[in-house]
Chains A and B, each alone.
Chain A
């Protein structure tokens, strides 16, 4: 047994060959499983050079898909931001019975398969759904149209913002807000000047992850969209269409935009963690 090899080093750290071996394994696995697929996206997108890449992005259906994705994210992310704050306020600043049930329901969309997330809206709003026929008689179409895509996206990204801020608001307690209220601040002033400054970085973090998922969702949106080219195809759905048409440069060009968004998300997320790590994650354990 050679546990104590060098003075000053913990005997549990292990010899050099073990440490380098483990690091090599970790880097190798991440390189093979994560980095290689990511670089493939860009290599395939630029396979025929810059001009075909740019040409592919100017294609009218691609432009429409990009616009639709931006529209869907512009509606669903702010909606989840506002409602996330409302739900977090109800859950953390007040006591009521069955609170843990409510939190479970809020988290529920995380454990539902994307395809099932789309299916449930087809069952409610579809032509054979609960209120689909009633809506159709009044000229309102939800499924196979933009409202359905927004609904499915809202469902899929439902818990992102709440989940990020609830542990933090719980850990921070209510003393500061109660002091503000007892000094005469209104509920709105208390929220704006006392609660919000403490959770702003966690909120930004949640919005960032929510946006990445909103723009990239495939399964749920695929079920409700109806795949009408140039009308109800978001970027991820358009990737599938191009790929199935053997238009690989086109598919990977659109994919490269979403991969770029993913990289940007990771960079901002890491910066937030380094600069404001304590303010993002609730302390305690």
Chain B
């Protein structure tokens, strides 16, 4: 590493940075990879891809995907309303969007469970219709929808702000109707941001634990999410098994992260162009 700056403090700040990143992040994270293969490749496959683990991936990834899709629609509407329309209470709405970032997940978990239980305000309305939510896989979708909303709004918002209304006006003067303007002018521009936001919400949803365990019911094979399975393995002192599932989840979120990074490079490229 060669120094290319007139400013002092490179040695000290770099040394401390490398120590801190290694001690807190890299060494502990490497432990999970080493431990997961500690009892051999076969044990890793058996634990990381057991029937119960596969079922938990289906439940967790599926719920996160549905939640991201719901939020894609409503997140886009909210971002649009915040950027393009003026109305009383706009600032309060904007501040409220970040609530899932600020509210501890356990608090969200017990509040959502109370609301969506058969005796709750919303659960009480849905139960007579034959739609149970709390203590069923649907409950996981509700929790992950709560958690994911700000990711989409906050990713789409700045891109929508940079999008000049002139393009839509030009399309309108050329005879494009509202639907055509949305699908052929607006959506291609904000598409990468919307996708990046969904990917972030999805990745966060797959790892989410606190809000889900209260509302899910936590039935193995039915409503058990991967993080809960890790906790269960850990309680049985099956460290290699817990690590194997953790590695599958980590690799998965690294792939999603790489996709998000590529999308964001594209977004930045467009903004600069």
* Residues in A lying within 8 Å of B, measured CB to CB: 1, 3, 10-14, 18-19, 22-23, 25-27, 29-30, 32-38, 40-41, 44, 83, 86-87, 89-91, 93-98, 102, 105-106, 108-109, 111-116, 119-124, 126, 128-130, 151, 154-155, 158, 174, 177-178, 181-182, 186-187, 190-191, 209, 212, 215-219, 222-223, 235-237, 239-240, 243, 248, 251-252, 255, 258-259, 261-263, 265-267, 269-270, 274, 285
How many Å lie between the Cα of A114 and that of B227 in the bound state? 8
Contact with A36, one of B85, B121, B268 (Cβ below 8 angstroms): B121
Interface size class of B (residues with CB under 8 A): 35 or more
How many Å lie between the Cα of A34 and that of B147 in the bound state? 10
Query: A115-B230, A121-B28, A258-B107 are contacts. A285–B95 as well, Cβ < 8 Å?
Result: no
Contact with A266, one of B10, B98, B268 (Cβ below 8 angstroms): B98
The answer to whether B172 and A3 have CB atoms under 8 Å apart is yes
The answer to whether B77 and A262 have CB atoms under 8 Å apart is no
Contact with A187, one of B9, B29, B253 (Cβ below 8 angstroms): B9
Query: A155-B25, A155-B28, A182-B6 are contacts. A262–B99 as well, Cβ < 8 Å?
Result: yes
**Chain A: which residue is nearest B38 at the CB level?**
A123
The answer to whether B107 and A113 have CB atoms under 8 Å apart is no
Contacts of A181 in B (CB 8 A): 6-8
Contacts of B249 in A (CB 8 A): 113, 116
Contacts of A105 in B (CB 8 A): 21, 25-26
How many Å lie between the Cα of A215 and that of B181 in the bound state? 46
Query: A34-B146, A36-B121 are contacts. A94–B14 as well, Cβ < 8 Å?
Result: yes
B140 within 8 A of A: no
The segment from B50-58, B188-196, B239-247 that touches chain A is B239-247
How many Å lie between the Cα of A271 and that of B107 in the bound state? 24
What are 14 residue pairs bridging A and B, where the CB atoms are less than 8 Å apart in the complex? A11-B169, A12-B169, A26-B78, A33-B145, A34-B99, A38-B99, A94-B7, A102-B21, A123-B239, A209-B101, A248-B114, A258-B106, A262-B99, A270-B95
Contacts of A243 in B (CB 8 A): 110, 214
* Residues in B lying within 8 Å of A, measured CB to CB: 1-10, 13-14, 16-17, 20-21, 24-29, 31-32, 35, 74, 77-78, 80-82, 84-85, 87, 89, 91, 93-108, 110-112, 114-115, 121-122, 145-146, 149, 162, 165, 168-169, 172-173, 175, 177-178, 181, 203, 206-210, 214, 226-228, 230-231, 234, 237, 239, 242-243, 246, 249-250, 253-254, 256-257, 268, 271-272
The answer to whether A19 and B111 have CB atoms under 8 Å apart is no
The answer to whether A258 and B231 have CB atoms under 8 Å apart is no
Contacts of A94 in B (CB 8 A): 3-5, 7, 10, 13-14
The answer to whether B231 and A236 have CB atoms under 8 Å apart is no
Besides A30-B78, A94-B10, 20 other A-B contacts (C-beta < 8 A): A11-B173, A13-B84, A29-B74, A34-B96, A34-B99, A40-B121, A87-B13, A87-B16, A89-B13, A90-B13, A102-B21, A111-B207, A114-B207, A115-B228, A155-B24, A186-B8, A218-B104, A218-B209, A248-B114, A270-B94
